[in-house]
């Protein structure tokens, strides 16, 4: 991680924790790391827990995130939630294009792009996820896949807007499997992503964008991953559901930020 960027540790709770359970987990995490300022921290509960979690975070330095949104501002989109609805609950980050959304809900790069631009226009900070499958890695297609996802997902985003942008590299084969990319493997892809961002937005803007690693990040492997030059934080699934392990990831990043 470079000095010009601040670490971001983001929890992705996925479809776990109802409103009450979410508030309880949030309050435990606030007690552990709610006042530290060395690292940006956010977590992303399900929509139904946003309001109760938001209340728990109100006197802390932890930000609230969502796991998805629709790109339209309002209208006949049954089951969907808009950026403005999220803003109303004090949400500041939104995960977009997670591989589970791409795989199970048919989200394409075009949709991810529409959502990213709508999020930026609504002053939300999008965490745009990219990542290759095991088959693609084995076929030596990782870099091509990532480049396509980054270029298509961020088409039309300006350098000025990109200050709010976060990218997450999540190799699909490492998500929830306990398998992690080695720090070197992850860093190689992060560097490619940074170069790709420089091509789209210019070196200066690209140097400011945080690129998170996600995929079985946990206290035992976080130090080595976060120490890499182009790894600026983590998008954490399983390990974000326990206050102790999530707090430990925040501490790892805080130590490296000194
Ligand atoms: P994991 O999930 O940490 O459980 O692998 C990461 C993610 O999907 O964001």
Residue 120 has what pLDDT? Answer: 98
User: Per the residue annotation, which of 98, 107, 132, 190 is the catalytic one?
Assistant: 98
The structure's pTM equals 0.97
C-alpha 105 to ligand 1 mean position (Å): 17
Exposed, middle or buried, 106 (CB in 10 Å: 0-12/13-18/19+)?
A: exposed
| Residue at token pair 């699934």 | 237
Residue 1 has what pLDDT? Answer: 67
Q: Which atom belonging to ligand 1 lies closest to the Cα atom of 95?
A: 9
Query: Quick check: is 70 catalytic?
Result: no
Residue range 186-212: mean pLDDT, rounded: 98
Given a contact cutoff of 8 angstroms between Cβ atoms, the answer to whether 212 and 166 are in contact is yes
Q: Which atom belonging to ligand 1 lies closest to the Cα atom of 129?
A: 9
Query: In the structure, which protein residues have their CB atom closer than 6 angstroms to any atom of ligand 1?
Result: 12, 170, 175-176, 214-217, 235-239
C-alpha 238 to ligand 1 mean position (Å): 6
101-129: pLDDT as tens digits: 999 999 999 999 999 999 999 999 999 99
Shortest-distance Cα residue to atom 2 of ligand 1: 237
CA distance linking residue 163 with residue 61, whole number of Å: 20
C-alpha 14 to ligand 1 mean position (Å): 9
CB within 8 A of 161, min separation 6: which ones? Answer: 120
Task: Name the residue ranges covered by the structural domains of the chain.
Answer: 8-257
Residue range 228-248: mean pLDDT, rounded: 98
Given the candidates 3.20.20.70, 1.10.630.10, 3.40.1010.10, 3.30.420.40, the CATH classification of the domain at 8-257 is 3.20.20.70
CA distance linking residue 187 with residue 1, whole number of Å: 10
Query: Quick check: is 98 catalytic?
Result: yes
Tell which one of 67, 97, 168, 216 to mutate to probe ligand 1, the residue whose CB is within 8 A of the most ligand atoms.
216
Residue 4 has what pLDDT? Answer: 81
User: Per the residue annotation, which of 100, 170, 187, 251 is the catalytic one?
Assistant: 170
Residue 181 has what pLDDT? Answer: 87
């Amino acid at each position: 991680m470079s000095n010009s960027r601040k670490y971001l540790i983001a929890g992705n709770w996925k479809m776990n924790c109802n409103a009450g359970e979410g508030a309880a987990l949030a309050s435990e995490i606030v007690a552990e790391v709610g006042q530290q300022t060395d690292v940006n921290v956010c977590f992303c509960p399900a929509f139904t827990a946003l309001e109760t979690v938001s209340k728990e975070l109100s006197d802390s330095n932890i930000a609230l995130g969502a796991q998805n949104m629709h790109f339209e501002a309002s209208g006949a989109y049954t089951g969907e939630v808009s950026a403005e609805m999220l803003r109303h609950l004090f949400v500041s980050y939104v995960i977009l294009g997670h591989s589970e959304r791409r795989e199970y809900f048919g989200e394409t790069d075009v949709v991810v792009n529409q959502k990213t631009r709508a999020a930026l226009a609504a002053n939300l900070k999008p965490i745009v996820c990219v990542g290759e499958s095991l088959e693609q890695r084995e076929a030596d297609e990782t870099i091509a896949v990532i480049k396509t996802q980054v270029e298509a997902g961020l088409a039309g985003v300006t350098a000025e807007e990109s200050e709010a942008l976060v990218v997450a590299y999540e190799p699909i084969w490492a998500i929830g499997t306990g398998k992690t990319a080695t720090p070197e493997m992850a860093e190689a892809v992060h560097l490619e992503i940074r170069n790709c961002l420089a091509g789209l937005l210019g070196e200066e803007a690209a140097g400011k964008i945080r690129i998170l690693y996600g995929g079985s990040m946990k206290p035992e492997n976080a130090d080595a991953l976060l120490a890499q030059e182009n790894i600026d934080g983590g998008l954490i699934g399983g390990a974000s559901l326990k206050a102790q392990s999530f707090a430990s990831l925040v501490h790892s990043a805080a130590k490296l930020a000194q």
